[in-house]
Structure 1
Amino acid sequence: MNKKIIFLVFIVAFAMISCSTKSGQFDVTDYGAKGDSLHINTLEIQKAIDDCSQKGGGIVIFKKGIYISGTILLKDNVTLHISEDAKLVGSSNPYDYQSIDTFVDATGQERGNCLIGSIEASNIGIVGKGIIDGNGTAFTYENILAKKKIFGIASNNKKFGTNRPFLLRFVKSSNIKIKDIELRQPAAWTCHFYQSNAIDVDNINIYSHANHNNDGIDLDSSFNAVIKNCRIDTGDDAICFKTTSPLPTYDIKVQNCTLKSEWGALKFGTESMGDFYNIHISDCKIEDTRGGGIKMLSVDGGNIYDIEIENITMNQVDMPIFIRLGERLRTYRDAEKQKVGSIDNINIKNIIATTRDIEKSRVSPPSGIFMTGTPNHRIGKIKLQNVDITLPGKGKISELKEVSEQIDKYPEFSFFEALPAYGLFGRHIKNIQMSGMNFNLENTDERASIIFDDVIYSINDGVENVKKQ
C-alpha cells in the first residue's frame, strides 16, 4: 500500500471519529465492536467509553446487534444508549470480569464483579429501549463445574466463578440516570448502588431469575434517589434498602412500581449497619410474592426512622407486613460492630392485601402483620392506618407453638412458624397506634385477631378483639 492510500485511509478514519465526536455520539462499532453475538467486545466498548469521557462526554451508542462483553466501567459524563434492537450480553467466561470494591455480603459470599460498573464517576447513565442481559445461567453451580473442566481448573478450586457478576454496580458515584432499559438475568444482584447519590431510575423492566440472590434494585448506604414507574420481577428482593457500611441510606422516594418476588418485595435490611431514614414509598403494586410484602429489618445496629409507606396494593403475598428489631450485629467491610439499633416513627397507611393460599404459604396458616423487637430492645412508635388484609384462616390453637425470640438469628418471619394471631401479632413495642384495621377471613380461624405481648402503649381506634398476653 503506497503512502497516498495510507494517508486517505487515515483521513477517512479520522473524519468518522471526528464526526461522532462533534455530535457527542460515539458508536461502539467505530471502535471495532461487533454485534454478532460471538466477539468479546470488552476492550472495544471500554475504548469508546474512555474516548467519550476524555472528549468532554456524550453518548456511547449500541446499534442493532448482540454485543458480548466482560466488565466495562463508566467514566465521567458518559451515558450508554442501548437501541431498541440491540442487546448487551455478559460473557460466560468468569475471567472476563473484574471486581470493584470487593466485599462479603450477608450470605458470606464475595461480591464485586459486574458487567457494567463505575467507581467515583459522575453524570453517568444507561438509557434506551434495548436489553442488558447478564447471562446468569452461565454461573450456576453446575455450569461453573463444567467450565473448570474446560479451563483445566481443579474441581476443588473454590474461588473460580464464585464472585458471580452483578449486572450494574455503581460505587461512590453521583448523578446517575437509568431510564427505559430492560435488565435481565444477572448472575447475582441486578442493580447495586453503593455510597452513591443523585440517582434517578425511571421506567425500567427487571427480570431476574437466572441464579441465586437475584435482587432487583439495592440502595446501599446511598441517598437522594428516586425509583419510579418500574416493573421488577425477581428471585430475591425486588427493591432493597441496605447499609453494608456505617453510612446511612436516606432521602429516597419509590413511586408507582409493580413488584414481584420470591423473597421480599419492599425490604429494609438485612444488611443494616448504618441508618435508614426519610424514605417514602407510595402507589405500588405487589403481586404473587412468596417472601413478604413490606419487610423492615434492623439487626446489625442501624436505626430505621421517619419512614412512610402508603397506597400499596398486594395480591397473593406472604406476610404483608413484617417488622423486626434484632441483635445479630454482623459487620461488613472490616467496620466496627455497632450497638443494637432501633425502629421508630414508622407510618404505614392505605394498605390493601390478600395473602397467599394455605397450600402456597411459607407459613401455614399465614398471618397479616408480625412486629417484634427483643426483650431488651423494643421497637419504638408504629402507626398503622387503613389496613385491610384478607386471609384464608383455618388456624387451630391446638397446633400452635410458643413464639420463639431468635434474638440474634437471621430475621425471617417464616422461622417463627405460625403465630397465635391471624391478623397482627405485636411484641416488644413501645408505642403502636392503629385505626381502620380490617382482617377478613375466608374460613374460620381459632386464633385471635390481634395479640399484643409486652406493648407499653397502644391506641386502637375502632379496632376490636385485641388480646394482651
Structure 2
Amino acid sequence: MYKSLVLFIVLLVVASCQKQTIWDVKDYGAKDDNLTVNTKFIQKAIDECHKAGGGTVTINGGVFVSGTILLKSNVTLNITEKTTLLGSINPLDYPIIEPFIDATGQFRGQCFIAAIDAENVAITGRGTIDGQGKMLSPKNVKKTLKKLGLEDVKPDLTGLEADSNNYVNNNIRLSNRPFLVRMVRSKKIKLKYIHLRQPAAWTLHFLQCDNFEVDGIDIYSHANRNNDAIDIDSSTNGVIKNCTIDSGDDAICFKSTSPEATANIEVYDCKISSHWGAIKFGTESMGDMKNITIRDCLVYNTKGGGIKIISADGANVDNILIENIQMENVEMPIFIRLCERRLVYRNANRKSTGSINNVTIRNITAQVSDLEKLRMKPTTGLYFSGTPNHSLGSINLENIKIDVPGGGTKEDRKITVPENETEYPEFTKLGATPAYGLFARHIKNLVTKNVVFTTRSNDKREETILINVDKFN
C-alpha cells in the first residue's frame, strides 16, 4: 500500500512537471457557435502558448468567428478538419498592420491572421479559414456599420503616397478589405493542408519574409475584386508545392512593394486557375526578382495570362526558369513586359527603369480559349515587349506548342502596337498585334528552339513579327 502511494505521488509530480504542448482555444472562452466574436479568447491562447516557449494552439469544433489574430514565435495554429475560423463582418475588428498603397491606388493594411517580426510560426490542419469577403465590400460595410451604430475610421496616409501619384486610377482609394493571411518580416514559416477561402482582398501575403514553405493548401478566392491567391513580396528562400488554387485575381504572384528583393523561390506541382494571371511577376516591382523556378504545374480556365513577367517599377528580373507547364483554356499564354512606370511604395526612393534578363521558358503546351471568350481579339501566343530605350535582355524559349483560335484579318496585319512606356503594364493596354504566334520587340537576344503555333481557324496575320530584336536564333 505504501509503495503504491509513493508511486502514485511520483507519477503525479512527473505529470505536473511535463511541459504543456497544446492550448485549446475553448479553454480560454472561445465558442464555436458561429456568433461569438472570439478574437480576445484565441489571442489569449496564442499569447500564453508563446510565453510558455511555444506549442500548438488548437481550434477544434464548429464555426469560430474572430477578428484579427496575431501569431507569435514558436506557435502553430492548428485548425482541425471540419472546423471553420470565420472572419468577422465588422471592419473595425481588423486593425491596420504595416500599411501600404498598392499599384492600383488602394490602401492596404488590414488582415485576418498575421505574424509580424515572428519566427517559427505555422498554420496547419485540414480546417478552413474563411474571410467572408463579400460581406466586406464597400456597400456591405456601410450596412454593417449602420446596423451596429458605429462610425468608420479613416486611416492615416502620412508617408504612404507615391511622389508621382500615378496609380492606375490616379487617386487613393480607401476600403475595409482585410487580407486573409499576412506574414510580415517573419521567418521559418509553414502553411500545410489548410483551406483558405473568400478573403476581401489578397489571400496569402508574404512581405519581407525569409524561409517559408507552403504545402498542400487549397485556395478559393472569388469574393471580391483583387482576390490574389499567393503574393510573394520582397521575400526570400521559399517553396510552394502541391497547391490547388482558384482565384479571382493573380494566383501565384512574385512582387516587390519595397526595394528589397524577391529571390530564391521554387514553385512546383500546383493546379492553378485564375481570372487574371496564373503565374505572374509584378506589377508592383521595385525590388529585384531573381533565382525563381516554376515547374510541373497545370494552368487551366484562366481569363488573364498563363505566364506574365513584368518589371515596371525598377526591378531587375533575372535567372528565371519556367518549365513543364500545361495550359488549358487560357487567354494569353506568355506575356513579358519591361516598362518605365516607376511607381514608389512605402516612401522609398524612386528607382531607375529595371531589366528582364536570363529568362528560360521550356516544355510548355498551351491551348488558348475560343475567340469569343477573349478580351483582346485577335490574340497572340507569345507577346514580348521592352521599350525603345530599355530592351529586354536574354529570353530563351524551347519546346513550346501553342494552339490559338485564329481569326486575324488582312486589315489586322496593319496594326501598330503602341509603346505605352509608362502605362499600366498589361497586354490589353498594348492591344492586338499583327502576329498570331510571336510578337517581339526591343529585345537584345531571343533564342527559340522547337516553338510551334497552330491555329483552329484561318488567320491572315504573320506568324512571327520581330521589331528591334538585336539577335534572334
Closer/same/farther in 2, CA of residues 330 and 161 from structure 1, 3 Å limit: closer
1:427 to 435, 441, 446: 441
Alpha-carbon spacing, 1:130–1:20, altered in 2? closer, same or farther (3 Å) = farther
Q: Where do residues 19-418 of structure 1 align in structure 2 (5 Å cutoff)?
A: 22-152=19-149, 162-399=175-412, 400-418=414-432
Question: Any idea what SS the aligned residue of 2:287 has?
Answer: coil
Whole-Å separation in 2 of the counterparts to 1:279 and 1:157: 38
In the TM superposition, residue 148 of structure 1 has moved relative to its aligned partner by: 3.9
Equivalent residue for 1:441, pick from 430, 455, 464: 455
2:7 matched to which residue of 1?
Answer: none
| Structure 1 residue matching 2:345: 3-state secondary structure | coil
> What amino acid sits opposite 1:245 in the alignment?
S
Contact 1:207–1:234 (CA under 8 A) maintained in structure 2: yes
By how many angstroms is 1:150 displaced? 2.2
Match of 1:453 in 2: 467
User: Identity over aligned residues, as a percent?
Assistant: 51
User: Using the alignment, how far apart are the partners of 1:389 and 1:251 within structure 2?
Assistant: 29
> Equivalents in 1 of 2:452, 2:366: separation in Å?
10
The equivalent residue for 1:10 is: none
The aligned counterpart of 1:8 is: none
1:5 alignment partner in structure 2 = none
Q: Distance in 1 between matches of 2:243 and 2:284?
A: 24
Q: 1:278: how far off? A: 0.3
Q: Quickly say closer, same or farther: Cα 1:51–1:221, change in 2 above 3 A.
A: same
Cα deviations across residues 194-224 of structure 1 (Å, max 9, x unaligned)? 0001100000000000011100000000000
- Computed over aligned residues only, the root mean square deviation of the Cα atoms, in angstroms, reads 1.8
**CA–CA separation in structure 1 for the residues paired with 2:375 and 2:100:** 31
Letter of the 1:46 partner, please give it.
Q
Deviation at 1:153, TM superposition (A): 5.9
* Shift of residue 147, structure 1, vs aligned partner: 2.4
Task: State the distance in 2 between where 1:84 and 1:456 align.
Answer: 57
Kindly provide the CA deviation profile for residues 330-369 of structure 1, in whole angstroms up to 9, marking residues without a partner as x: 0000000000000000000000000010000111111101
TM-score by length of 2: 0.91
Distance 1:19 1:170, change over 3 A: farther
Match of 1:4 in 2: none
Q: CA deviation at 1:324?
A: 0.2
Mean alpha-carbon deviation: is it higher for 138-147 or for 448-457?
138-147
Query: Could you say if the C-alpha distance between residues 143 and 245 of structure 1 is closer, same or farther in structure 2, counting changes exceeding 3 Å?
Result: same
Rounded Cα–Cα distance in structure 2 between residues aligned with 1:137 and 1:284: 30
Amino acid at match of 1:239: I
> Which deviates the most, 334-343 or 416-425?
416-425
Deviations 1:399-429 (A, max 9, x none): 4531100000000001222111100100000
Secondary structure, counterpart of 1:293 in structure 2: strand
Gaps of at least 5 residues in structure 2 are: 1-11, 157-172
Query: What's the TM-score once normalised by structure 1's chain length?
Result: 0.92
Report the Cα distance in structure 1 between the residues aligned to 2:306 and 2:40, rounded to whole angstroms: 42
Distance 1:316 1:326 in 2: 28
Contact 2:106 2:174 (8 Å CA) reproduced: no
Does the aligned pair in 1 maintain the 2:89–2:144 contact within 8 Å? no
Within 2, Cα distance between the matches of 1:100 and 1:128?
Answer: 25
Q: Structure 1 residues 225 and 19 mapped into 2: Cα distance closer, same or farther (>3 Å)?
A: farther
- Partner in structure 1 of residue 168 of structure 2: none
Counterparts in 2 of 1:191 and 1:21: CA distance versus 1, 3 Å: farther
Q: Give the partner amino acid of 2:429.
A: F
Q: Is the 8 A contact 1:243 1:273 kept in 2?
A: yes
Q: Secondary structure at the match of 1:395?
A: coil
* Closer/same/farther in 2, CA of residues 90 and 155 from structure 1, 3 Å limit: closer
The alpha carbon displacement at 1:22 in A equals 3.1
Indicate conservation of the 8 Å contact 2:141/2:176, yes or no. Answer: no
Are the counterparts in 1 of residues 66 and 87 from structure 2 also a CA contact under 8 Å?
Answer: yes
Residues 144 and 161 in structure 1, CA contact (< 8 A), matched pair in contact too: no
- Structure 1's 164 and 20: CA in aligned 2 closer, same or farther, altered over 3 A? farther
Which secondary structure state, in structure 1, belongs to the residue aligned with residue 277 of structure 2? coil
| Cα distance in structure 2, aligned partners of 1:345 and 1:311 | 18
> How many equivalent residue pairs?
443
**Contact kept? 1:21, 1:55, Cα under 8 Å:** no
Counterparts of 2:126 and 2:415, CA distance in 1? 52
| Alpha-carbon distance between aligned partners in 1 of 2:429 and 2:100, rounded to the nearest angstrom | 27
What CA distance in whole angstroms lies between the structure 1 residues aligned with 2:64 and 2:415? 55
Deviation string, structure 1 residues 222-254 (Cα, Å, up to 9, x no partner): 000000000000000000001000000000000
* Mapped partners of 2:268, 2:128: distance in 1: 23
Which residue number corresponds to residue 164 of structure 2? none
The aligned amino acid for 1:373 is G
Deviation, 1:387, is 0.4
Deviation at 1:173, TM superposition (A): 0.2
Aligned equivalents of 2:237, 2:123: Cα separation in 1 = 18
Q: 1:363-394 CA deviation, whole Å, 9 max, x = no partner? A: 11111010000000000000000000001111
**AA at the equivalent of 1:384:** L
Residue 50 of structure 1 aligns to which amino acid in structure 2? D
